[in-house]
Chain A
Amino acid sequence: MPALSVTDLAFSYRGEGFRLCVPSLAVESGTTLALAGASGGGKTTLLRLMTGLLPPQAGRVCLGEQNLSGLNRESLRAFRLRHIGLVFQDFALLDYLTVEENILLPHQFSRDTLSSARRNLPALLERLQMERYRAKTVSQLSQGERQRVAIARAMAHEPRFLFADEPTASLDPARGRIVTDLLIDDARRRQSVLIVVTHDHALLPRFDQTRRMEEFAA
């Protein structure tokens, strides 16, 4: 049974011609998948559908044995907090908090993941070359540094599913490769699922699978 499966998924925004159809998509544990495509191709929408941030109009998304459509809002939130790591395209960080506070923020509201997030934090910051920024507020950081904070927050609690929306868009090529390798190595080491949305074609060969968004446009 695949760790992540998407079946007959359909979604469209009201009043827009664009329609997303994913007849079938499956990703095994320890596997990495890159979703590539042009801007406006629905990459971020598909990511939000797979994480339950958007409800599909048809079809289903299963993470492990859990069908996301079967969860109410609160259960979905708790599931996402415990099992999913998310790197948002706009980083979704709070400017008035420090790097450490931003990374631990979601876990402060859920005692289940707080201890593991705290434990992993020093090593994670070291691997992302962010140790010296730990006590700095996010407003003091560059775009690239913010992106690494967003990645650290998504990885801190060692989730089974990690979704990253353009995680290297604000990084220089060298640092982009380091971060991509970090995400891929982590997924393989922990046998988790990594799904990355990217338009950087140079990175695609590093992933186990690549799907182009053109496949899913109806």
Chain B
Amino acid sequence: MNAALSLALRYVLRHRVQSVLLAAALGLVLALPLALRVLVRHAQAELRARAASTPQIVGAKGSALDLMMTALYFKKENLSSLPLKEMPEGGIPLHVRFHAQGAPVVGTALEYFSFRGLRLASGRQISRLGDCVLGARLAHERGVRPGDAIFSTPEQTFDIAGAYPLKMRVTGVLAASGTPDDDAVFCDLKTAWLIEGRAHGHDDVKGDEVLQNNGNNTVANAAVRLFQEVTDKNLNTFHFHGDVGDYPVSAAILIPPDAKTEALLAGQFARSKTAQLIRPRDDMESLLTQLVRLEGFATTMLLITAAAALFVSTLVFALSFRLRRREFGTLEDIGVSRVSLATVKLLEILLIAAFATGIAVVLYATALWSAPALLRMAL
């Protein structure tokens, strides 16, 4: 057995390029269905958990999926919004439209942090206009710490009349939660509106700087400096125009205390022409059903590919042994038994199979390890 193993090993090592290619092909077809399964299972668990922890969401009428992905994953920037006054009382508002350093800026209330169980790892909570706290991964990846500042990203670079970037003060960094909250910038709802241009702060307007004044609205010339950063000194100059109740909100998370309230809220919004109420758990389940169907289709395709690859590998081995008939004849002539020769052939196959399994295990482990990151990229 040792002699057969040694001979098989020497052959495989001598023809290492062919052996590696064959093992890699086998390993890949073995690992792909497994990796796909791991990724889908992880995605299902992750999506389900996030959805299950969010009882109800209210938002503008339209795609329930978009509303859900905005409220849970902060992914849909151009979602239709609802005026704040249309949101039920007690809901946690979410304003998701802008970005800072590539991460979504989520304007919300302090209740959001306690609702999600988010605690600060360093620094302190937002305390005034212009403050923000960062998700753990975002802060780590960008190297941002409490006391630093980050700028919101202008929506349109060349739109000089659009939303200007706001320099926000980072007051704290959240502890890692393994959720999309790790990748977001959280600020107060009013700060989000400030980025949107609903509020502003500026120098006092002197008489000669006024271009037009019609009582409710004053137009000043460019000499009046608009502030792009909220400081303790200029805080009092910031002010909102119009009715705050008309200001937009992307969604609100509702936490009904009991099933009856939940049912009543659902009934109330069922009749609404402008708003919709969704149960993320239900909407996510229908999404996951589609995902499972897709996985089943992909797995079937991969299994067919795997079967074809196994068949080709069998042919490769058969052809290789046929081409080496002379070599095996030589071994037989010098006294190696047929049983030993069969053992050598079997061990060569097993060595390749073991190597292929090793590659498959590495790929599988890589899929396991990278599943959260891949899901984060996909979402």
User: Footprint of B on A, CB under 8 Å?
Assistant: 53, 74, 77-78, 80-81, 86, 88, 92, 94-97, 101, 105-106, 108-110, 153
In the complex, chain B residues whose CB is within 8 Å of the CB of A96: 10-11, 14-15
Q: Does B336 contact A (CB under 8 A)?
A: yes
User: Across the interface, which residues of A come within 8 angstroms of B331, CB to CB?
Assistant: 94, 105
List, in ascending order, chain B residues with CB within 8 A of A86's CB.
Answer: 333-334
CB distance from B260 to the nearest CB of A (A): 79
Q: A96-B10, A96-B11, A97-B10 are in contact. Are A109 and B333 (CB under 8 A)?
A: no
Query: Is B6 in contact with chain A by the CB < 8 A criterion?
Result: yes
The residue in chain B whose Cβ has the minimal distance to the Cβ of A74 is B337
B3 touches which of A53, A78, A109 (Cβ 8 Å):
A109
11 residue pairs A–B, Cβ–Cβ below 8 Å: A77-B335, A81-B335, A88-B333, A92-B330, A94-B327, A94-B330, A96-B10, A96-B11, A96-B15, A97-B7, A109-B4
Partner of B340, one of A88, A92, A109: A109
Quick check: A101 and B336 within 8 Å, CB to CB? no
For residue B142, give the distance in angstroms from its CB to the closest CB of chain A: 54
**B335 touching A110, Cβ below 8 Å:** yes
In the complex, the answer to whether B334 meets A153 with C-beta atoms within 8 Å is yes
List chain B positions with a Cβ less than 8 A from chain A: 2-4, 6-7, 10-11, 14-15, 327, 330-337, 340
Within the complex, what minimum Cβ distance (angstroms) separates A197 from chain B?
Answer: 15
The interface residues of chain A lying within 8 Å CB-to-CB of B14 are: 95-96
A101 contacts B333, C-beta separation under 8 Å: no
Is A106 in contact with B10, judged by CB distance below 8 angstroms? no
- Chain B interface helix/strand/loop/mixed: helix
Q: A96-B10, A101-B10 are in contact. Are A80 and B3 (CB under 8 A)?
A: no
Q: Distance (Å) between the CB of B255 and the closest chain A CB?
A: 71
Taking CB atoms, residues of chain B closer than 8 Å to A78 are 335
What chain B residues lie within 8 Å of A95 (beta carbons)? 14
Query: 10 tightest CB-CB pairs across the interface, nearest first?
Result: A81-B335, A96-B14, A108-B3, A92-B330, A106-B335, A106-B334, A109-B336, A109-B340, A109-B3, A80-B335
Query: Hey, which chain B residues are within 8 Å of A108, CB to CB?
Result: 2-3, 6-7
- A106 contact from B2, B4, B15, B336, Cβ within 8 A: B336
Residues on A with C-beta less than 8 A from B327 are: 94
Number of CB contacts from chain A to chain B under 8 A: 47
Residue among A77, A78, A86 having the largest count of chain B Cβ atoms under 10 Å? A77
| Among B3, B331, B332: residue with most chain A CB under 10 A | B3
Are A105 and B334 neighbours in the complex by a CB distance under 8 Å?
yes
Give chain A residues whose Cβ lies under 8 Å from the Cβ of B333.
53, 86, 88, 92
Which A residue sits closest to B344, measured CB to CB?
A: A109
* Complex alpha-carbon distance, A76 and B14, angstroms: 32
Residue of B nearest to A108 (CB): B3
Told that A105-B331, A108-B6, A110-B335 touch, could you supply 18 new A-B pairs with CB distance under 8 A?
A53-B333, A74-B337, A77-B335, A77-B337, A81-B334, A88-B330, A92-B334, A94-B330, A94-B331, A96-B10, A96-B14, A97-B10, A101-B10, A105-B3, A105-B7, A106-B335, A106-B336, A108-B3
Inter-chain contacts of A153 with B (CB < 8 A): 334
CB distance from B231 to the nearest CB of A (A): 76
B335 lies within 8 A of A109 (CB): yes
Query: Which of A53, A105, A109 is most buried by chain B, counting CB atoms within 10 A of its CB?
Result: A109
Nearest A residue to B343 via CB reads: A109
Closest B-chain residue to A48, C-beta based?
A: B333
Q: Tell me the smallest distance from the CB of B63 to a CB of chain A, in Å.
A: 64
- Which residue among A81, A86, A96, A97 has the maximum number of chain B CB atoms within 10 Å of its CB? A96
- Tell me, in angstroms, the Cα distance from A164 to B331 when the chains sit together: 17
Min CB gap B237→A, angstroms: 83
How far is B292's CA from A93's CA once the two chains are assembled, in angstroms?
56
Separation in Å of the B8 CB from the closest CB of chain A? 11
- In the complex, what distance in Å separates the CA atom of A106 from the CA atom of B15? 22
Distance of B334 from chain A, by nearest CB (Å): 4
How near does chain A come to B343, taking the closest CB pair, in angstroms?
10
Give Cα A123 to B312, complex, Å: 48
Query: A113: nearest residue on chain B (CB-CB)?
Result: B335
Alpha-carbon distance A80/B331, docked complex (angstroms) = 12
A9 to chain B, nearest CB (A): 20
A72 to chain B, nearest CB (A): 12
- Write out the residue numbers on chain A whose beta carbons fall within 8 Å of the beta carbon of B332: 77
A40 CB to nearest B CB, Å:
21
Complex CA–CA separation, A80 to B330 (angstroms): 13
| Nearest residue, chain A, Cβ from B337 | A77
CA distance A72 to B30 in the complex (A): 44
- Nearest to A110 among chain B residues (CB) is B335
| Chain A residue at minimal CB-CB distance from B336 | A109
**Residues of the B chain whose Cβ atoms lie less than 8 Å from the Cβ of A101:** 10
- Enumerate chain A residues within 8 angstroms of B330, measured Cβ to Cβ: 88, 92, 94
Closest chain A residue to B327, Cβ basis: A94
- Cα A101 to Cα B4 in complex, Å, equals 12
Expressed in whole angstroms, the Cα–Cα distance for A80 and B337 within the complex equals: 11
- Contacts of A106 on B, CB cut-off 8 Å? 334-336
Residues of A within 8 A of B7 (CB): 97, 105, 108
Which residues from chain A contact B337 at a C-beta distance below 8 Å?
Answer: 74, 77, 109
Closest residue on chain B to residue A90 by CB atoms = B330
Q: Within the assembled complex, what's the spacing in Å between the Cα atoms of A122 and B2? A: 23
Shortest beta-carbon distance from B176 to chain A in Å: 53
Q: Give complex CA distance A80, B333 in Å.
A: 9
